[in-house]
């Protein structure tokens, strides 16, 4: 299963690149992180980053992803929202307002109904 992470608000491309670097520094996530570029429009010379795809399988990758993403959110100074999609479910996590991002991400990864947080 893949989890897909996007950014809304602030410098979206810069924040997505920062998150990708943060996640790639986690040993448990080594080799699971892939940057996905958006389509190039006719008036553009190239595309920026669109989303991060994370291959989540067995072995605790999901827990490591939830904990690392939660830690990254706590470091954000700008008003950033992360969209997290897995198992056909999508949740938006506001860096400044969500109380328990680890629990929320874990619910999405497990396929449980997502409770408000």
- Give the DSSP letter string of 78-109: S--EEEEEETTEEEEEETTT-S-HHHHHHHHH
- Residue range 58-104, pLDDT digits in tens: 667 888 999 999 999 888 877 888 999 998 888 888 877 777 888 88
The sheet with strand 81-86 has its strands ordered as 33-37, 49-55, 2-8, 81-86, 89-94
Rounded to an integer, what distance in angstroms lies between the CA atom of residue 117 and that of residue 10?
22
CATH classification for the domain delimited by 2-110, as one of 3.30.70, 3.30.460, 3.30.450, 3.60.70: 3.30.70
Give the E-state strand segments of 1-96 in sequence order: 2-8, 33-37, 49-55, 81-86, 89-94
Question: What is the pTM for the complete model shown?
Answer: 0.81
Closest CA to 33 of 23, 43, 41, 42: 23
Q: What ranges do the domains of the chain cover?
A: 2-110
- Residue range 21-46, pLDDT digits in tens: 999 999 999 889 998 876 656 665 55
């Amino acid at each position: 299963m893949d989890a897909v992470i996007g950014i809304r608000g602030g410098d979206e491309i810069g924040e997505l690149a920062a998150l990708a670097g943060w996640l790639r520094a986690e040993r448990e996530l080594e080799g699971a992180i892939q940057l996905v570029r958006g389509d190039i429009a006719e008036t553009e010379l190239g595309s920026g980053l669109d989303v991060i795809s994370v291959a989540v399988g067995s072995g605790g990758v999901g827990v490591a992803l939830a904990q690392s993403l939660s830690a990254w959110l706590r470091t954000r100074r700008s008003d950033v929202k992360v969209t997290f999609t897995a198992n056909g479910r999508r949740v938006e996590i506001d860096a400044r307002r969500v109380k328990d991002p680890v629990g929320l991400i874990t619910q999405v990864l497990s396929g449980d109904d997502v409770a408000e947080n």
